[in-house]
Amino acid sequence: MRADHRRGRSRRNAILAVTALLAGGGGLVAVNYAANASDVTAAAPTTRSARTISCPDVKGALPAVPRQARTEVDRNLELLDRQTAQADRRLVDTRGEGGPNFVQNAILGPLEGKRAAAIERIAIAIGRVAAKPSGLEGLAACTLGLDPSGAGAASRSPGGAPGDGGEGSDAGQQGNGSGAAERSDDGPTAADFVDITKVAPNVPRVRRQAGASTGAFISRCGVNKQGQHNSDNDIVAPGVSNGAHHVHDYVGNRKVDFNSTNESLSAQGTSCTNGDRSAYYWPVLRDTTRQGPDAHALGGGAEGNKGAILVPATVSISYQGSPTGKVVAMPRFLRIITGDAKAFTNGTKNANAHWSCTGFENRVQLTDKYPICPAGSKVVRSFAFQSCWDGRNVDSADHRSHVAFADAGGNCARGFRAIPQLTMRLTYRAPAAPDFAVDGFQGQRHSAVTDHNDFINVMSDRLMNQAVSCINSGRRCG
Residue 322 backbone dihedrals phi, psi, to 5 degrees: -100, 140
Measured N-to-C along each axis, helices 109-127 and 70-93 cross at an angle, to the nearest 10 degrees, of 180
Question: How confident is the chain (478 residues) per 10-residue block, as mean pLDDT?
Answer: 44 46 40 32 36 87 92 89 84 74 84 89 90 92 63 32 41 34 61 96 86 96 97 94 96 97 97 98 97 94 95 98 97 98 93 97 97 97 98 95 95 97 98 94 94 98 98 95
- CA neighbor of 176 nearest in space, from 108, 90, 241: 90
CA-closest candidate to residue 340, choices 394, 377, 386: 386
Distance of CA 448 to the CA centre of its chain: 14
CA distance 185 to 242: 21
Distance CA 33, CA 399 (A): 9
- Angle formed at CA 247 by CA 90 and CA 348, multiple of 5 degrees: 90
What's residue 146's pLDDT? 54
Q: List C-alpha distances in Å: 244 to 172, 204, 286, 299.
A: 7, 33, 16, 7
Model-level pTM? Answer: 0.68
pLDDT at residue 40, as a whole number: 32
CA dihedral 131, 395, 160, 111 (to 10 degrees): -80
What DSSP state is assigned to residue 180? G
Q: Are 338 and 385 in contact (CB under 8 A)?
A: yes
pLDDT, residue 30, reads 34
Distance CA 183, CA 386 (A): 34
Gap between the Cα atoms of 286 and 33, Å rounded: 29
Determine whether 418 is exposed, middle or buried from the number of CB atoms within 10 Å of its CB (0-12, 13-18, 19+).
Answer: buried
The residues that bridge with 320 in the sheet, in sequence order, are: 216, 421
CA distances in angstroms from 243 to 43, 107, 258, 337, 346, listed in the order given: 11, 18, 8, 15, 19
β-pair type (476-477, 216-219):
parallel
pLDDT of residue 456: 98
Q: What is the pLDDT of residue 312?
A: 98
Counting runs of H as helices and runs of E as strands, what totals does the chain give?
A: 7, 21
Q: What is the DSSP string of 429-443?
A: -PPSTTSEEE---TT
DSSP output for 388-426: EE-SS-S--TTSSTTEE---TTSPPPTT-EE--EEEEEE
Spatial separation of the C-alpha atoms in residues 205 and 410, rounded to whole Å: 12
Q: Would you call the peptide bond into 158 cis, given omega within 30 degrees of 0 as the criterion? A: yes
State the DSSP string of 311-360: PPSEEEEEEE--SSS---PPPTT-EEEEE-TTHHHH-STT---EEEETTT
DSSP for residue 107 = I
pLDDT for the residue 164: 43
Candidates 401, 308, 423; CA nearest to 26 is: 423
Say which DSSP state 184 is in.
S
Question: What is the rounded CA–CA span in Å between residue 338 and residue 52?
Answer: 26
β-sheet with 229-230: strand ranges across: 229-230, 248-252, 279-283, 452-456, 335-339
Cβ-contact 422, 336 below 8 angstroms: yes
How crowded is residue 75: how many other Cβ atoms within 10 Å of its Cβ?
A: 14
- 27: Cα separation from own chain's centroid: 16
